Amino acid sequence: MKFIDEFRDGGLASGLAAAIRLAAKRTRDYHFMEFCGGHTHAIARYGVSDLLPPNVRMIHGPGCPVCVLPVGRIDMAIRLVREAGVTLCSYGDPLRVPASGGLSLLKAKAGLGRNGGVRGDIRMIYSSADALRLAQREPERQVVFFAIGFETTTPPTAVVIKQAQALGLKNFSVLCCHVLTPSAIASILESPAVRQWGSVPLDGFIGPAHVSTIIGSRPYEFFAEEYRKPVVIAGFEPLDVMQAILMLITQVNDGRAVVENEFARAVTREGNRKAQQLVAEVFELRRSFAWRGLGELPYSALRIRGCFADFDAERRFAVDYQAVADHPACECGAVLRGVKRPQDCRIFGSACTPENPVGSCMVSSEGACAAHYSFGRFGEVAVAK
């Protein structure tokens, strides 16, 4: 544990905090977006904001895989279970995301077997391999793996698809909802709130940790050059985040906008070539994908290639995506774009809590609303108990 504790050391942190205070000019504000939910979580869990001077503010980004899933995607998963009678294998967090008709996968699971009709099933799993094992063990079940996540979780999905093909499995497929980080960053930078209105002041990004180990630091160079925004890739430890903030402030002060790598212990410029090849072999770009909050983004997600069509649940069971409007009071979209803070949502902490999430950002511990509710809300006065 020594290795990890070094990244959470209070003494080092106060040293870094002093350096940040010294570097940040009193005459201006600094607004940095941490793209990843992992960073959002670390900032809230360790109280990093408490150590920052008031003119250095963090804006939460859209990099939480569960948060960006639109209602319609969860509906698709529920339809597969209820109508096609499949056994859906999902990670824990997506189970609690609100879907249409007051449902969620968890509630749909509780209702199974009571509504008659086709008998589907919903299982919580810890890895894609668990789903594949279930399909192998119980050939009479149609197993569908609900694959979500950014570039970090894509290679393991590719692996199980290839294994399923090699094993000749006839009862395994994947509902692919994998999305791409650079598209989301581009959408933020292109949004009128950032570009024209300036309502989201943005002076730089903290780049993803785990995602970057796969895709490398090169994809961010475009953002630095084209949009003149500094990017510092950082690990998920709180001291990593603080170091990255210091590096961003320095870039801003120097008038530079380049990609820097604080997480050099794991991230290279090229990323993991082998993983990239594997992903390219199994997946291709989707023409368009609907994100919660960001809307339809062209070429922002992956779909399974034709040569693996048998393992594509969308093709096998002919389910398609139908857009569904979010809850009218829900501000998740604005939160994901950095336009609003969680506490700006009218129902934050009242109607919407981790026990009864209304929006997706209240579900995963990496979601901005859940992180703020669970760790940081002592700052606000009026919060329901």
Partner 1 sequence: MSAQRKGYVRPLDLRHGRVDMTHGSGGRAMAQLIDELFASRLGNNYLGQGNDAAVLPMPPGRLVMSTDAHVVSPLFFPGGDIGCLSVHGTINDVAVMGATPLYLAAGFILEEGFPLGDLARLVDSMAHAASAAEVPLVTGDTKVVQQGKGDGVYITTTGVGVVAEGADWSGNRARPGDRIIVSGGIGEHGMAIMAQRESIGFAANIVSDSAALHRLIAAMRASGAEIHALRDPTRGGVATTLNEIARQSGVGMMLQESALPIQPAVAAACEFLGLDPLYVANEGKLLAIVAPADAERLLVAMRAHPLGRHAAIVGSVHEDARHFVQMTTTLGGRRIVDWLTGDQLPRIC
Between 319 and 335, name the residue whose CB sits nearer to ligand SF4. Answer: 335
If we measure between CA atoms, which residue out of 45, 101, 70 comes closest to residue 361?
70
The binder of 161, among ligand SF4, partner 1, none, by C-beta within 5 to 8 A per type, is: none
The binder of 46, among ligand SF4, partner 1, none, by C-beta within 5 to 8 A per type, is: partner 1
Q: Is 303 in the site for partner 1 (CB under 8 A)?
A: no
**Spatial separation of the C-alpha atoms in residues 221 and 300, rounded to whole Å:** 18
Q: Do residues 366 and 64 lie in contact, with contact meaning Cβ atoms separated by under 8 Å? A: yes
Kindly state the tokens that stand for 60. Answer: 């939460």
Binding-site size for ligand SF4 (CB under 6 A) equals 14
Between 245 and 352, name the residue whose CB sits nearer to ligand SF4. Answer: 352
**Spatial separation of the C-alpha atoms in residues 309 and 315, rounded to whole Å:** 7
Between 10 and 255, name the residue whose CB sits nearer to partner 1. Answer: 10
N-terminal to C-terminal alpha carbon distance within the chain:
35
If we measure between CA atoms, which residue out of 119, 118, 124, 127 comes closest to residue 105?
124
The binder of 359, among partner 1, ligand SF4, none, by C-beta within 5 to 8 A per type, is: ligand SF4
Characterize the bridge pairing of strands 259-261 and 283-285: unpaired
Per-residue binding letters, 340-359, with ligand SF4 (x by CB under 6 A): --x--x-xx---x-----xx
The binder of 50, among ligand SF4, partner 1, none, by C-beta within 5 to 8 A per type, is: partner 1
Kindly state the tokens that stand for 245. Answer: 């903030």
Between 8 and 341, name the residue whose CB sits nearer to ligand SF4. Answer: 341
Between 152 and 360, name the residue whose CB sits nearer to partner 1. Answer: 152
Name which position in 219, 238, 271, 338 contacts partner 1 (CB under 8 A): 238
Beta carbon of residue 308, minimum distance to partner 1 (angstroms, whole number): 22
The binder of 314, among partner 1, ligand SF4, none, by C-beta within 5 to 8 A per type, is: none
Per-residue binding letters, 86-125, with partner 1 (x by CB under 8 A): -----xxx--x---------------------------x-
Q: Is 140 in the site for partner 1 (CB under 8 A)?
A: no
Characterize the bridge pairing of strands 56-63 and 30-36: parallel
Beta carbon of residue 160, minimum distance to partner 1 (angstroms, whole number): 15
Beta carbon of residue 358, minimum distance to ligand SF4 (angstroms, whole number): 4
The residues that touch partner 1, with contacts defined as CB under 8 A, are: 1, 4-5, 8-10, 13-14, 17, 37-38, 44-51, 65-66, 91-93, 96, 124, 126, 148-150, 152-153, 210, 238-239, 354-355, 365-366, 370, 373-378, 383, 385
